[in-house]
Amino acid sequence: MLPAPLADRPSLADVLPGLLSAVTGEPNRLALPTASKGVVVLVDGLGTAALKARLGHARTLGAALAAGGASIQSGFPTTTAAALATLTTGTPPGQHGLVGYSVLDADNDRVVNQLTGWDDRLDPLTWQREATVFERARAAGLRATAIGPERYRDSGFTTAVLRGADYVAGARIADRVSAALDWLASPGDGILYLYVPELDVAAHASGWQSPQWTTRLEEFDGALRTLVAGVPRDAGVLVTADHGVVDVPASGHLIIEAGSDLLDGVRFIAGEPRCLQLHVEQTLSAADRDALVQRWRDSESSRAWVATRAEAIDAGWFGSVDPAVLPRIGDVIVAARKAVAYYDESPLAQRGRSMVGQHGSWSTEEARVPLLRFGAFAS
């Protein structure tokens, strides 16, 4: 059986819309009380499982978790491009269109990296298809601000998912927290998004179980303590994440050789190592497509969920899927459920083997993220 989203429970898609509703005084799925200002802190790569395993290094986060903090589902695939678009639009990938780390751009017959691959053939204002919560806040007469590293200010991905927000840069976590405190102290109601990529960077390089990741967790927890101490009484803060992380040892790297029958009829490999999205040749017959799916199931069903596009959509993996988004989703999806990652023999894929911490699939470690409340939201 295929895993499926928990549709009856709050998820990452509810966080930023809930924040806006709290500021406008409207009911919301998170049951947040009214606040004049709302902040969501997005810690890239901070899964609930990893946080619980390192609570001794995160007293501020741990106290909030013990005081009623929740664990929510991030969405699928558990990758930054898809998850952040879900957070900032409140819609699933099947609607906003960022359905993976890399996806098929059918109009240009190529696979495009959704974080770094934007060019003049891919317009972020139309490829990401939904209005952002920041745009909705602006329309309501509220301030909307995003704080992150300077290097992301003018990227195509930022334009796609943060449009409508004023961008403020901060080099270190402490710098970004300082900018958030300045924003909280300034006049005017509104919403603020604060991005913390440092834990994800450490996880990819060294794994979430490494001393480097723990050091970054301690750094963030101390900065969060400073932020919470300076939050005005009528403002609230939420801390969440886009996905968790699984450490994949080199012994878990599964190499798909160029001559493998697992690639017969495959034109493009998109997605990422823990969630392949295979796009087949358009001329491939239905019988040959079925045979390809069966070969993958025979080979990998003990360590991955193998689903056709139709099966994944029926299971709700991408939420409601707009017809314009449909071609971006792989014809066959291979989502790892063991500590494995799939690589072909291309130079680009082989360079990715240096990553230790990985994500993209349905495991609890990847899919469950914290939702912690501070300030006016903690009461």
Residue 152: per-residue pLDDT: 97
Percentage of residues in the chain with pLDDT exceeding 90?
A: 96
Residues 275, 297: Cα–Cα separation, whole Å = 14
Residue 7: per-residue pLDDT: 85
Where the chain has pLDDT below 70, the residues are 379
Taking CB atoms within 8 Å and a gap of at least 24, the contacts of 162-169 are: 162/88, 162/132, 162/134, 162/193, 163/124, 163/125, 163/132, 163/134, 163/135, 164/131, 164/132, 164/133, 164/134, 164/135, 164/136, 164/137, 164/138, 165/132, 165/134, 165/193
Residue 348: per-residue pLDDT: 85
Residue 39: per-residue pLDDT: 98
Residue 326: per-residue pLDDT: 98
Q: What domains does the chain contain, in order, with CATH numbers? A: 12-96+119-245+362-378 (3.40.720.10), 250-358 (3.30.1360.180)
Tens digits of per-residue pLDDT, 343-366?
999 988 898 899 999 999 999 999
Phi, psi (deg, nearest 5) at residue 258: -60, -35
Structure tokens at 331: 């014809």
Residue 116: per-residue pLDDT: 96
340 in Cβ contact with 303 (< 8 Å):
yes
Considering only CA atoms, which of 70, 71, 53, 51 is closest in space to residue 61? 51
Mean of all residue pLDDT scores within the chain: 97
Residue 6: per-residue pLDDT: 87
Task: Flag whether the pTM goes above 0.95.
Answer: yes
CB-based burial label for 294 (10 Å; 0-12, 13-18, 19+): exposed
How open is the CA angle 267-269-270, to the nearest 5 degrees? Answer: 130
Residues 301, 334: Cα–Cα separation, whole Å = 9
